[in-house]
Structures are given as structure tokens and as C-alpha cells.
Amino acid sequence: MIAVEALTKRYGRTVAVDGLTFTTRPGSILGFLGPNGAGKTTTLRIILGLAHPTSGTATIDGRPYRSLGDPTGEVGSVLDTSGLHPGRRGRDHLRIIARAAGLPVSRVDEVLRLVDLESAARVRTGAYSLGMRQRLNLAAAILGDPRTLVLDEPANGLDPQGIRWLRDFLRSLAADGRTILVSSHVLSEVSQTVDEVVVIHRGRLRAHSTLTELTARGAGSATVRVRSPQAERLAELLGPAATQVQPGLLTVGDRPPEQVGELAAQNGITLHELVAERADPSLEEVFLELTRDTDGDVA
């Protein structure tokens, strides 16, 4: 489990992270979202022991990263795809990491199969596409079979098939009880992958909830769709609340479906359809609303 508590990081007069608090749950995928400059990368670097907080804490299973006895076996991470030696073959890159971590070489071939890079194992990484580099870094992250993964933009450079593969792969890891923290700008993909989201802006927490709860909080009022051969008559009775979409079809606002049905029955109006609808906003719409510049309180 990752726990961030009252985390603050200042660079001179610039506050990159401002009192941030959130936790992850084992067996789940947490989407870590925010616009550029929101403090996401700084937070991830502190979690992984690459930067020191000004105040507050960031722990993994109750300990700072630097205090972990077996970092490779406890946490896997992908923060940057540019750290590959262009003249080194993919398999050799993983062998070096495995040796440093005291892992058997056989594990290298296992993770290459898991990330579908067997055919490119002997290719020098300088010839890798961005998507292939992403897969190789992900292979390195899971070498030690860690229970926690921290991934920054893991879908970057992947084609649609690769994105679907990544989604299924992360879901399978979470189903095995692992904790996964994913930072991403690809909101459409996040909405199909994560269980919960943390949204930050200007280093401060804006929201932390399940995806369903987050989109429901921005939901508009319910409308009622009515289909009737006497739609015009019903519209007259409903007044301004009713809008005729097409002949025989109305939408009704500010009226519960029970009230519309009772009104139709009282006036002998036949109904072919009566459906209550609620249009929940997309993750992108809620994200944009949460991260617009305001002086209001954080969520």
C-alpha cells in the first residue's frame, strides 16, 4: 500500500506539492491525474525516494522507499523511457538489472514473455519504438515480482492494440492483489482501467474517489423520455417542462417519471415508452472542472 500524508515539496518559492494526502488499496489500480505542472511527477519521485519532501511523508507498506529491505521485490516503477543504452540489447538490459538485484537470469525470459517482447529480445534498444521501450521498462519493473507498481504514462507510445494489452495486463496484476499507481494524461484509457482516481491541481488534492463516485458528483438532473402517439397533447399538459424532440417523442425535465405517467393516465393518453435518464459527465469533463483555476477549497 502507498500512503502519502500531508506531503509538501518546495523548490525555493515554488510549491510543487502542497499538503497532499491519499492512499492506495491492495488489489486496485489508482489513477493519478492532473494537468502539466500539477505536481504528479514530483510526488512520484518522492514516493520512489528520488526526492526528499519538505514536509510530510510518502511510504510503501509503512516504510519510506529508502528503508525497504528489497526494493526490487517490493516496488516496481516506470518513470522515464529514455534511460536505455541504445547499443544494448533488450535482454541484456534486463540481465544487468536482474544480476544487480540478485535475481535468476531465467526471470528475464519470463518477463519478456509477459510483456510480449520475446521477438525483440536480441534487438538493440536504439532500434526500439517508443511503445517497445515502454514494454521493456515495464518488464524491468516487474522483474522482482513486486507487490506495488508505480507507473508514469505507461500507455505513452502504444498503439490501440498495445493500449488494450496494457489495460488487460494491469488488470491481471491487480487481480493478483498488487497495488498499482498509474499517472496518465490519456483520460479515455484511465476511465477503462482504474478503480479509483486522485486528481491534483497546483500541488493540492482536488478529489479522491472511485471513478463512479467522481463522475456521479457532476451528474446533471434526470430527464424523462416519453414516446406516445399523443405526444403533442401531453406536451401541452406538461407545459415548459416538455420538449418535443421529434413527432411522437418528448423529453421532460424537472418532473419525475411517476408524475408524468400519472398525468398521462389521468388524461387518457397512451404511452409507448416512459424512461428516466441521467447523463453522467465523462471523466474528461469532471477533470476539466476540477482543475480549472479557482480560489475555492479543494475536494
CB 170, CB 193: distance < 8 Å: yes
Average pLDDT for 28-37: 94
Asked if residue 243 has pLDDT above 60, the reply is yes
Residues in the chain: 299
Averaged pLDDT of the chain = 91
Q: Does 136 score more than 90 pLDDT?
A: yes
Which among 273, 191, 198, 185 has a CA at the least distance from the CA of 234? Answer: 273
Q: Which band of pLDDT confidence, cut at 50, 70 and 90, is reported for residue 223? A: confident
Identify which of 26, 81, 70, 56 has the alpha carbon closest to the alpha carbon of residue 203: 56
* Placement of cell 517482447 in the chain: 117
b/e burial code for range 13-37 (CB count within 10 A of at least 16 → b): eebbbbebebebeeebbbbbbbbee
In the chain, the percentage of residues whose pLDDT exceeds 90 is 75
pLDDT of residue 20: 97
Cα 175 to Cα 139: distance, rounded to the nearest angstrom = 18
- How deeply is 294 buried, as exposed, middle or buried, from its count of CB atoms within 10 A (0-12, 13-18, 19+)? exposed
State the pLDDT confidence band at 255, using cuts at 50, 70 and 90: confident
123: which DSSP letter?
Answer: S
Q: Are 102 and 124 spatial neighbours (Cβ–Cβ below 8 Å)?
A: no
Does the reported pTM lie above 0.75?
yes
Dump pLDDT digits (tens) for 163-206.
999 999 999 999 999 999 999 888 888 888 999 999 999 999 99
Give residue 297's pLDDT.
39
**Amino acid making up residue 158:** L
User: pLDDT confidence of 295, banded at 50, 70, 90?
Assistant: very low
Q: Which of 68-77, 213-222, 236-245, 247-256 is predicted with the least confidence, judged by mean pLDDT?
A: 213-222
- pLDDT of 124 reads 97
